[in-house]
Amino acid sequence: MARTILFVIHGVGQRAPAGSTNPASDAAKTWWKEPVDTIVSLARKHAPRADIGLKPKDEGVQIVPLSYCDVLVDHLVGWKDAADGTKDVSAALRARYPALGEEYLAELSDITTDDSDFFWSKAVDVLLYRVFLDVRIRQHVRTQIVRALKEHASRGRVPAAAFVSHSLGTAVLHDTLAELLRDPVEFGGIANIDVLAYVSLANVSKVLTNLENPYESPVRPFGAGHTAGARMRRFINARHELDPIPYIGGFNPDWDPQTSNYSLVTMNRITDPNTHSFVEYLKHPGVWAPLFEAILDKPVTPEQLEQLTEQHDKAPLPPCAAALETLRDEVESLKDAVAALKPTTAWQSISAFTRAARVIEEARTACVKAGANAGGGR
């Protein structure tokens, strides 16, 4: 059996490859390849003796991708407005869900026709999880977690676990684990899960909280908060200064790193114009080094971590200075808008999530164009 299971869960916008005849299943089968390959590649470089992967030997670390995109895609497949990318988002939702109150639909009125494509390709996932499919998605993810743990149980004991979550996945995973850890008999039948590390990247669980306050739930590090029940041995929270998503997400606990094993990783170096990239988050030493320390017994001193981070930050900037400057301006503008709005519900944040998706995609597209021009259009 595996010694430890590393669960990895995705964020928004995971869809099947073009031409798929089974889009829900294919989305779940394909989304994880790049993040998993990145984790394995980093481990081979920095912990070459470690046995980690999708199919490790006994006593290795098994990576298990967790999917909920198949539930979302399955729901969207039969929705004509979603398939057509209908420009009037409020009208599409009013037609699909006639029982919705106008006060909720009014929260979506700021989604412009220019932004509607980004709603249907990404932000709609946030709405579907938080409002319509939350129970189904939690059940689906919980089943995957419980199945993997039971498959590797030995003499009544399940292996240790670690979790890496990104974007919307931080909310989905938080809610799923909160249920499982609060009431293991009702939700899965597994008690005393030993969680070695919990990694959240671009955390949105605060504004999208569905069950309980993530600052006080079991999904927090030992010693954090003012109540008992914390179940994470280590909690690593990473956000990029130019990723607008975590600002909308509002996850900013006051956990004291001196009394709890909590670390906040704040990134500011741009290694990719997509500052929300799951893979680019994973590549930062502040993320993978403490994770490997927890699951691969690969200690890292503060001095070593500082050196690794310096090496990481020496990577050249993408060759698109104007696009990156526009990105900075747009993110600052979005931050100001979020600060003024102070969203406390998913409905209030949907427009901001949609705008953030457009800002990031426009920066990526502009950088690709600038790189093509620099290469003579090739």
Is the pLDDT reported for residue 376 higher than 50? Answer: no
Residue 233, pLDDT > 90, answer yes
Three-state SS for 167? coil
Of 180, 179, 198, 197, the C-alpha closest to 189 is 180
Q: At 11, is the secondary structure helix, strand, or coil?
A: coil
* Closest C-alpha to 219, from 192, 195, 246, 252: 195
CA torsion angle for 178, 183, 187, 189 (degrees, to 10)? 130
Residue showing tokens 């669960």? 7
Q: What is the largest CA-CA distance in the chain?
A: 63
d(CA 171, CA 209): 6
Tens-digit pLDDT profile for residues 333-372: 998 988 887 777 788 889 999 999 999 999 999 998 887 6
Q: What share of the chain is helix, strand, coil (3-state, %, to 5)?
A: 50, 10, 40
Q: How far apart are CA 342 and CA 351, in angstroms?
A: 13
Question: For residues 287 and 265, is the Cβ–Cβ distance under 8 A?
Answer: yes
Average pLDDT, the chain: 91
pLDDT of residue 371: 72
Residue that the structure tokens 């031409």 belong to: 19
Task: Report, as an integer, the average pLDDT of 63-92.
Answer: 90
Taking the alpha carbons at both ends of the chain, their separation in whole angstroms is 50
Q: Which two tokens stand for residue 196?
A: 């070695």
Type of residue found at 15: R
* pLDDT tens per residue, range 256-274: 988 999 999 999 998 888 9
pLDDT at 188: 67
What pTM does this model have?
Answer: 0.95
The pLDDT assigned to 159 comes to 94
DSSP 62-117: EEEEE--HHHHHHHHHT-HHHHHT-S-HHHHHHHH-TTS-HHHHHTTTT--TTTHH
Beta bridge partners of 8: 65, 164
Handedness of CA 313, 316, 322, 323 (dihedral sign): negative
Q: Give the pLDDT mean for 183-205.
A: 86
Q: What is the dihedral of CA 170, 183, 141, 290, to 10 degrees?
A: 40
Amino acid at 169: G
Residue 375: band (very low, low, confident or very high) from pLDDT cuts 50, 70, 90:
low
Which band of pLDDT confidence, cut at 50, 70 and 90, is reported for residue 192?
Answer: confident
Q: Find out whether 270 and 317 touch, Cβ atoms under 8 Å.
A: yes
Task: Give exposure, 32-60, as e/b (b: 16+ Cβ within 10 Å).
Answer: beebbebbeebbeebbeebbbbeebeeeb
